[in-house]
Amino acid sequence: MAFHPYLFFGGNCREAFTRYQEVFGGELSLVTSADMPADEQMPGAPADAIMHAALMIDGELLMGSDDPTAESFTVQGMQVSASLGTAEEAARVFEALAEGGVITAPLGPTSWAAAFGMCIDRFGTPWMVGTDGPPDAA
């Protein structure tokens, strides 16, 4: 079994996933409304709306799409967690995700990790960024 985050956007999924690919690397696949068979297109969706985004990063999958029925979303009760191998890599990712967004917990050492912080990126996605393993392992 596997669990994969699926993020919804109010029209800026392409921009968000392009940024996530810049931050994390990986292979990005985007399917627009125009790419879908006519009988599977969402009514009212613009031709360039993203119906499915998939970013494959080292065997992990982050997915999302635009929802043409809403202009924006407020995510509540969850965060996307990114675990990095070193404090330096966690700092790079955290700074990139926090750019233009809001830092809700500054990145720093904790009792469980060499680095941990939380932010909401400029697309509205809440993130937890940290290092793998105990503080002395990173």
User: 24-51, pLDDT tens digit by residue?
Assistant: 999 999 999 999 998 888 778 888 999 9
pTM comes to 0.90
Using an 8 Å Cβ cutoff, are 51 and 99 in contact?
no
* Cα–Cα distance, 106 to 30 (Å, whole number): 32
Identify the band that residue 138 occupies on the pLDDT scale cut at 50, 70 and 90. very low
**What structural domains does the chain harbor?**
6-66 (3.10.180.10), 80-137 (3.10.180.10)
Q: How big is the CA angle at 34 (ends 18 and 15), to the nearest 5 degrees? A: 15
Q: What whole-number distance in Å separates Cα of residue 24 and Cα of residue 18? A: 10
Four-residue CA torsion sign, 6, 9, 14, 16 = negative
Q: Indicate the pairing of strand 80-84 with strand 126-131.
A: parallel
- Predicted confidence at residue 133, as pLDDT, reads 77
